[in-house]
Amino acid sequence: MRIVVLAGGTSTERDVSISSGLLVAAALREKGHEVVLLDVFTGYEQNILDVDELFKQNYSFTDSIKVGETISDIDEIRENRRDKSNRFIGENVIDICSFADITFLALHGGEGENGQIQATFDLLGLKYTGSGYLGSALAMNKGLTKSVLLQNKVLTPRGEIFKNEADTVSWKIFPCVVKPCSGGSSVGITIVENKEDFRQSVKEAFAYGESEIVVEQYVKGREFSVGIVGGHALPPIEIIPKSGFYDYKTKYQAGAADEKCPADITTEQDRILRDAALAAYKALHLESYARVDFILDKGNNAYCLEANTLPGMTPTSLLPQEAAVEGVSYPELCEQIIKKSLEKYSEKGAV
């Protein structure tokens, strides 16, 4: 197959996306596919475009990336773009994707995960991996996610959406969690113990350029994540940070957290988590694959925190670890994601 792996972009998760994209591209090439790795924002900036040759050469816009403890300087990336425009989709990206059998979306956050690029590809008749625009939009906005989960009787922490700092004075529950409404990789998320720290956390959450933030009750318990591929729930993985909580630094720095899969849980706890993950997956109209995060309290209540429509595929990512427990290698997982995504189009009657 001819496959474009689309990574990069301008979100706070840019480096995570590129790390995922490099691994996905290498894995698919190992399986014998012709793969072009593109940065969705910078695109392909050379004047002469021979798409057939790009696939034959297995072109990649970069050979390496390391996810650091802090996010990339997005303004610098914009400044270095050849056409100096603010368009999200860079030069020649659409043309190259139109030559592929499918585009593997290794994007994280922002326009790559909130349904906008999915809707664009739908309008252009381009096939891509993962959920469609509706599920992507619902899962990306944490306020909408919470509303949909509550409507579908999926357990989730009590919370509220705030559009400005002034309105947050009404919040009275501590400890609590403050987070940007549409961010990912735990960027901007803080756990707050008291009213004094709360004001600073609210300010920080709004500093990420969003018009809304979510504040929710802090639920004490064990943290788990459950991957889903093609409607099948994978074994739950438990995340145990060595210090603090599962923030951006902990997620992407090797050794910062212990991740246990299969998790040390009972058969009943395993069932509760998998059933809750599938319920959230269906409620949010997700497709092909996803990952759903939970807190399991002492009473075995699984509180759904959020759903990830384009789970990370970095060296420390959770989904590949869960798949490996079922004997599915990383390259095989990448192919399974493509297979399940193509089935979505067959079911809808797309050619």
What domains does the chain contain, in order, with CATH numbers? Answer: 2-128 (3.40.50.20), 158-217 (3.30.1490.20), 222-346 (3.30.470.20)
Pairing of strands 159-162, 213-217: antiparallel
Binned at pLDDT 50, 70 and 90, residue 254 comes out as very low
**Would you say 237 and 318 are in contact if contact means Cβ atoms under 8 Å apart?**
yes
Question: Which has more pLDDT, 66 or 158?
Answer: 158
Single-letter amino acid code for the residue at 30:
E
Q: Which two three-digit tokens encode residue 60?
A: 């990649």
Per-residue pLDDT at 249: 44
Q: Note the helical H segments in the chain.
A: 14-30, 51-57, 74-79, 93-97, 116-124, 133-140, 142-151, 195-206, 248-252, 267-283, 318-325, 330-347
Spatial separation of the C-alpha atoms in residues 27 and 25, rounded to whole Å: 5
Binned at pLDDT 50, 70 and 90, residue 62 comes out as very high
Binned at pLDDT 50, 70 and 90, residue 247 comes out as very low
Per-residue pLDDT at 350: 53
Using CA atoms, how far residue 260 sits from 238, 240, 268, in Å, is 5, 8, 17
Which residue in this structure is represented by tokens 């739950």?
A: 236
Q: Give which of 94, 96, 140, 141 is closest to 121, Cα–Cα.
A: 94
Say how many C-beta atoms besides its own lie within 10 A of residue 247's C-beta: 18
Total residues belonging to the chain: 351
Single-letter amino acid code for the residue at 175:
P
Spatial separation of the C-alpha atoms in residues 168 and 75, rounded to whole Å: 30
**Would you say 91 and 43 are in contact if contact means Cβ atoms under 8 Å apart?**
yes
**Would you say 350 and 299 are in contact if contact means Cβ atoms under 8 Å apart?**
no
Pairing of strands 232-233, 102-105: unpaired
DSSP 176: E
**Would you say 307 and 290 are in contact if contact means Cβ atoms under 8 Å apart?**
yes
Q: In what order do the strands lie in the sheet with 190-192?
A: 159-162, 213-217, 176-180, 190-192
Question: Does the predicted model carry a pTM greater than 0.85?
Answer: yes
Q: Is the peptide bond before 241 cis (omega within 30 degrees of 0)?
A: no
Residue 70: pLDDT above 70? no
Binned at pLDDT 50, 70 and 90, residue 185 comes out as very low
The crossing angle, in degrees rounded to 10, of helices 318-325 and 330-347 is 100
Which residue in this structure is represented by tokens 């390391």?
A: 66
Angle 36-37-38 from CA coordinates, rounded to 5°? 115
Per-residue pLDDT at 255: 52
Q: What is the mean pLDDT of residues 238-257?
A: 58
Binned at pLDDT 50, 70 and 90, residue 244 comes out as low
Mean pLDDT of the chain: 89
Say how many C-beta atoms besides its own lie within 10 A of residue 85's C-beta: 10
Per-residue pLDDT at 11: 86
Residue 266: pLDDT above 60? yes
